[in-house]
Amino acid sequence: MTAETSPKCMLLRRLLPCVLAVPLSMLCLSGALAEEFTGSDDLTDLSLDELLSTEITTLSRKSESLGTAPAAVHVISQSDIRRSGARSIPELLRLVPGMQVAQIDGNKWAVTARGANGRFANKLLVLMDGRTLYNPMLSGVQWDSQDTDIAAIERIEVIRGPGATMWGSNAVNGIVNIITKHAADTTGGNVGVSGGMAGYETTVRYGAEAGDSAFRFFGKVFDRDGNVSMSGEDTDDYSEMLRFGGRYDWDGAEDTNFTLSFETYTGESGEYRISRSIVPPYETLEDTYTDISGGFLMATWSHDFSRDSGLKINAYYDAHERDVPTYTEDSDTFDLDIQHSFSAGENHSLIWGVSYRKSSDDTTDSFVISIVPASDERDRISAFIQDEVRLLDGRARLIFGSKFEHNELSDDDIEIEPSARLSFAVTDDQTLWASVSRAVRLPSRGERGGRVTTAIVPPGQPDFPLPVPTVVRIVGNPDMLSENILASEVGYRLRNRSFVLDAAVFYNQFSDLRSLSQGIPTCAPGGGILQLDPTCLFTSTHVEQPLFIENNDSYDAMGAELWVSKQVRENWRLQGGYTYFRTTGAGSGSMLRLGVVEDSPDHQLSLRSSIDINDNLEFDVMLRWIDELEAQQVDSYTSMDLRFAWSPTPSLSIAAVGRNLLAGDHLEFKSELVDLAPIQVEPEGFLELRWSF
């Protein structure tokens, strides 16, 4: 620990005993999100989207001007979703300032905030209606299987920075919460059809309401074409998916609500894979595909005892299966989550909760990838408590608390993830906030027991002059520990009638980060040590070069995020964003220094214009400039999305959408597992027709 960091640690140390000893309180950050809009006394400053998401009881409890959320929060509204023309969740996340989103191929994405991006970006936790989309097998979210009826998403709340105090491990660099619409908000029929240069998509939904109950069902099918290789040839990184789902809502008397939802899906993700073997030609490129299927069933029951107190119980079962040519995975998750919020006196709002999760999986292996043990079953038990304290007559608020988590993926007995956040309303429309928090990223099953072949070096290479091929493998570590972050953030927000400015800077200290160390090469089969007995080469088919996973890296990450939104005219809104990110002090075994690895751009710029030409015409443009990825050797690029929508009648809209324009065919990101060949993303255009009845 350097001298520079000690004050933060002191604060943390002072905070910890309080959190542990006293059952204190908080208003959860998600509550804070709903409230974010009430910073101004004048409700007419808010947009219709914001008014529709304002919680009335929250408003009446704190109707005086109150500091806004003490975190880097951004909400994607329903209008944002519609106007983006996005057909997938990662595309929507491009709208959020500070998010790092890159497309790897036609169905794979690298999505995170605040650094270390990758196909298995493991420090961003993503939830849909409270259900985790994070896959503990190889870490991260597998975006090719995570989708829903995009038009039935109510909003997406994104918090950059740790959210582990409420949401637990892996909410290290950010948390994304996708919230779908209440069934009563999707009554009637709705058909969306889109098609163009790169495939088609159809979504059909029907819902109805009777008395206190409402339901909807939807079906969605799409088939998207692949892109092109680095040499410009068509590749088979297509994506096809059939999804069916539904939701039932019951709003009973006395503030009791019940929701039941489910989805089931099946599909294929094509990929341009690097196929490896110990016989010539060792590495070949081939078009293969992954079979994907899965589904979930979720029930939520909530009851408000009073304006200030409520109980929410959420349970779900989620199953998924992936059949990659080199590996198959079959996972099941059961999760039970109980949260209770209440007020203590005038100035304290508390929330606490307990949760239990049981995960089990079953894998099969191949020469390229294997996981030991092949099957596993584990429990996670966690609890959290958080208090929001209203200070200075509501001008300031302090939110603090901690999560306590026991997980069999981590050797630590209990993970403690505390945070303290403070905001101060400088004036009615300006807020300053600061926070200090700790979070952990759990090792994945793959990191603990995986063996992944990342390269085959053919015999007789100048710098590797052996008579047999060398197989380079990453070897998991059963004793791997959690990665740690101590994050400090400061932010400023200005919000008035026609202008919003949101700025945040952060300094993250990571420790016990995953690293790789080069092991001793051995002959295989046989296992003789090459350096001691080179004659073992005569009886071997290849040499094994292991790279052992350890927890030996640490670095500091820092950055700044700026977002401005200006209502230029009543029918014209401009938004601009800038993100700066850098790391210092990565060790020699650092994943950041090992060629094709997790990586994030130093600079990102975005500009978005939304115009209502008249009552029936909408025109949207989004421009992005993404800096180069140095470690990945990916060039910077500028790209543009366009949408022009016309509603000839109230129940019909027709939109022309262009995506990834200006940049031509361009590389955005390489899969860090080095299992896929790099793909260039192509520009595309499509027409979308939406009809409601």
Residues that bind another protein (CB under 8 A): 20, 23, 42-44, 46-49, 51-60, 63, 78-79, 82, 182, 184-185, 187-188, 208-210, 251, 254-255, 257, 304-309, 340, 342-344, 350, 352, 354, 381, 383, 385, 404, 406, 413-414, 416, 570, 612, 615-616, 618, 647, 650-651, 653, 692
| Residue 340 beta carbon to another protein: minimum distance, rounded to whole angstroms | 6
Rounded to a whole number of angstroms, the minimum distance from the CB of residue 55 to another protein is: 5
Shortest Cβ distance from residue 375 to another protein (Å)?
25
The C-alpha angle 666, 670, 672, rounded to 5 degrees, equals 170
Sign of the alpha-carbon torsion through 516, 521, 523, 526: negative
* 575 contacts 109 by C-beta, under 8 angstroms: no
Minimum distance from CB of 681 to another protein (Å)? 29
| Cis peptide preceding 525, ω within 30 of 0 | yes
Q: How far is the CB of 215 from another protein (least distance, A)?
A: 11
Q: Which residues contact 584 (CB under 8 A, 6 or more apart)?
A: 555, 556, 558
For 345, phi and psi rounded to 5 degrees? 70, -165
Residues 341, 369 contacting (CB under 8 angstroms): no
Q: Are 487 and 508 in contact (CB under 8 A)?
A: yes
Alpha-carbon distance of 515 to 551, in angstroms, equals: 6
Rg (C-alpha) for the chain, rounded Å, is: 25
Q: Is 620 helix (H, G, I), strand (E, B) or coil?
A: strand
Tell the smallest beta-carbon distance from residue 83 to another protein (Å). 9
Taking the C-alpha atoms of residue 624 and residue 569, their distance in angstroms, rounded to an integer, is 23
Q: Which is nearer to another protein, 192 or 199 (CB)?
A: 192
Distance CA 108, CA 117 (A): 13
> CB 179 → another protein: shortest distance, Å?
12
Distances (CA, A) of 402 to 177, 418, 541: 20, 4, 53
Structure tokens, 74: 């951004």
Residue 366 or residue 651: which is nearer to another protein going by CB? 651
Nearer Cβ to another protein (290/484): 484
Q: Which is nearer to another protein, 233 or 254 (CB)?
A: 254
Residue where the block lists tokens 């039932």: 248
If the CB atoms of residues 72 and 645 are measured against another protein, the closer one turns out to be 645
Q: What is the DSSP letter of 458?
A: P
* Residue 34 beta carbon to another protein: minimum distance, rounded to whole angstroms: 9
In this structure, are residues 560 and 504 in contact, taking their beta carbons and an 8 Å threshold? yes
Tokens standing for residue 603: 């600079």
Residue number, 231 or 614, with CB nearest to another protein: 614
Q: Are 114 and 98 in contact (CB under 8 A)?
A: yes
Taking the least distance from each CB to another protein, the nearer of 367 and 499 is: 499
| Nearest distance, CB of residue 533 and another protein, angstroms | 49
Between 30 and 600, whose beta carbon lies closer to another protein? 30
Which residues lie below 8 Å from residue 364, measured CB to CB, with a gap of 6+?
A: 327, 328, 374
For residue 446, give every residue at least 6 positions away whose Cβ sits within 8 Å of its Cβ, in sequence order, or none. 137, 138, 139, 371, 452, 476
C-beta of 354 vs 503, nearer to another protein: 354
Structure tokens at 338: 């109980």
In the complex, least distance from residue 104 CB atom to another protein, rounded to whole angstroms:
32
In the complex with another protein, the residue whose CB is nearer, 154 or 550, is 154
Closest CB to another protein among residues 82, 421: 82
Taking the complex as a whole, how short is the minimal distance between the CB of residue 48 and another protein, in angstroms? 4
Helices (H) and strands (E) in the chain, counts: 8, 36
- In the complex, the smallest distance separating the C-beta of residue 393 from another protein, rounded to whole angstroms, is 19
Which residue, 197 or 568, is less far from another protein as judged by CB? 568
* CB distance 438 to 486 below 8 Å: yes
Q: How far, in Å, CA of 305 to CA of 314, rounded?
A: 17
